[in-house]
Amino acid sequence: MNDLPFTLDQLRILRAIAAEGSFIRAAESLYLSQPALSLQIQNLEKHLNVSLFERHKKRIKLTDSGQLLLRYGNRILALCEETYRALADLQNLQAGNLIVGASQTTGTYLMPRLIGLFRQRYPQINVQLQVHSTRRVAWAVANGQIDIAIIGGEIPSELKDILKIIPYAEDELALILPKSHGLANFEKIQKEDLYSLKFITLDSSSTIRKVIYNVLYENGIDSNRFKIEMELNSIEAIKNAVQSGLGAAFVSVSAITKELELGIIHWAKIENITIKRMLCIVENPNRYKSKASKNFFDF
C-alpha cells in the first residue's frame, strides 16, 4: 500500500491515552487540546475502519483492535527512537540519551548513586531512570523502550532466550529488627528464632518477596512457617514499620545504609547463614546499542 493509514503522532496519541486512561490527561501530557486529540483518534479509526476504544462514563478501555495497534505501535515508536539515537551517535560519539531500567529496590537505592557517578564522568549524556517491577522492566528492554537495566528479580521465562543476562553483583539480604526487640541484644540469632518473629513483608505478588523466599528456602528456612503481621507496598514503609516496633523484615542491605549509620534499627545476623541474591545486567542483543549504552555498560 502506498499511504499508511496512520501517522507517528497518532501512535503517540494512542500510547498516551492507553497510559493515562483518559483523553483529557493524555492531551495534557502531550500539550494538545482535547478536541485536537479526539479528532486525531476519529481520523485514525476512520482510516483503519475499526473502533479502538470502548467508551464508558468514567473510564476508557482499548478494544482488541486497539490493543493490537498499541502493541505494534509501541514497537514502531521504539524503533524510531532507536534510529534517532543511532543517527545522533554518528554526530557525537560521547553525547547522547540513555534510558536505564531497574527493579524497585535496585532503582531506589543503588541506581541513583551509580548514575550520579556515571554523570560525573559523562556529563553530556542525558540519563533517564525508569523504576518498575522486574517483569515490566524486562519486557521494556525486550521491546526497545529501555536500553539497559539492572534488576534483582526473576526474568520472565519467555524472555530468557531473547535477552542477554549478565551477572553483575551480589546483594546481601538483611534481617532487620526494632532496636527494642529482645533478639537485638544478641550478636547472632539461630535459624529457629525466625519462626517466633512477626514479619512485615511486601505483598504476595511482589517479585522481590518471591526472590527473598526462594533464597531463604535454599538456606533451609521455610517461609511458610513465618507469622506475617502485615503486608506493605514499599521498602520505605517496611523500614518505618520495623523502626516503630511493629515487626521484623528481610530487606536489601543497600536499602538500610542510612538507618544502620543512625543506629535506629538492628541488623540481626543469623548463625551460619548469609543470604544473598544476584543482581543482573539485562540487554537486548538484537537491538542497536548506542555509544551511551556502551559507555554505561563499561562503566
Whole-number pLDDT of residue 163:
92
Q: Are residues 249 and 291 in the same domain?
A: no
At which of 75, 103, 122 does a domain end?
75
In terms of Cα–Cα distance, which of 3, 10, 159 is closest to 77? 10
Q: Cell 528456602 maps to which residue?
A: 217
Q: Cell 554526530 maps to which residue?
A: 91
104-139 pLDDT tens trace: 888 888 899 889 998 888 888 889 999 988 888 998
Instruction: Judge whether 35 lies within some domain.
Output: yes
Q: Are residues 247 and 106 in the same domain?
A: no
Q: What is the CATH number of the domain that holds 212?
A: 3.40.190.290
Q: Are residues 137 and 223 in the same domain?
A: no
Q: What is the CATH number of the domain that holds 97?
A: 3.40.190.10
Q: Are residues 114 and 211 in the same domain?
A: no
Instruction: Judge whether 288 lies within some domain.
Output: yes
Q: Are residues 12 and 99 in the same domain?
A: no
At which of 47, 75, 103 does a domain end?
75
Q: Are residues 270 and 190 in the same domain?
A: yes
Instruction: Judge whether 46 lies within some domain.
Output: yes
- pTM, rounded to two decimals: 0.64
Query: If residue 25 lies in a helix (H) or strand (E), which one and from where to where?
Result: helix 23-29
Instruction: Judge whether 1 lies within some domain.
Output: no
Q: Are residues 96 and 132 in the same domain?
A: yes
Q: Are residues 105 and 122 in the same domain?
A: yes
For residue 170, with 0-12 CB atoms within 10 Å meaning exposed, 13-18 middle and 19 or more buried, which class applies?
A: exposed
Hey, what's the cell of 70? 498499541
Instruction: Give the structural domain span for 182.
Output: 170-276
Instruction: Judge whether 3 lies within some domain.
Output: no
Per-residue burial over 101-131, b if 16 or more Cβ lie within 10 Å, else e, is bbbbbbbbbbbeebbeebeeebeebebebbb
Q: What is the CATH number of the domain that holds 31?
A: 1.10.10.10
Whole-number pLDDT of residue 176:
93
In this structure, which amino acid lies at residue 160?
K
Instruction: Judge whether 84 lies within some domain.
Output: no
Whole-number pLDDT of residue 1:
46
In angstroms, the Cα distances linking 60 to 57, 89, 141, 222 are 8, 39, 27, 44
Question: In the chain, how many domains are there?
Answer: 3
Which segments in the chain show pLDDT lower than 70?
1-2, 57-58, 88-95
CB 171 within 8 A of CB 278: yes
Q: Are residues 220 and 151 in the same domain?
A: no
Instruction: Judge whether 87 lies within some domain.
Output: no
Hey, what's the cell of 19? 497510559
Whole-number pLDDT of residue 79:
83
Q: Are residues 159 and 22 in the same domain?
A: no
Q: Are residues 195 and 251 in the same domain?
A: yes
Whole-number pLDDT of residue 82:
76
Instruction: Judge whether 58 lies within some domain.
Output: yes
227-265 pLDDT tens trace: 999 998 888 999 999 999 999 999 989 889 889 889 899
Whole-number pLDDT of residue 94:
54
CB 48 within 8 A of CB 70: no
Q: Are residues 272 and 289 in the same domain?
A: no
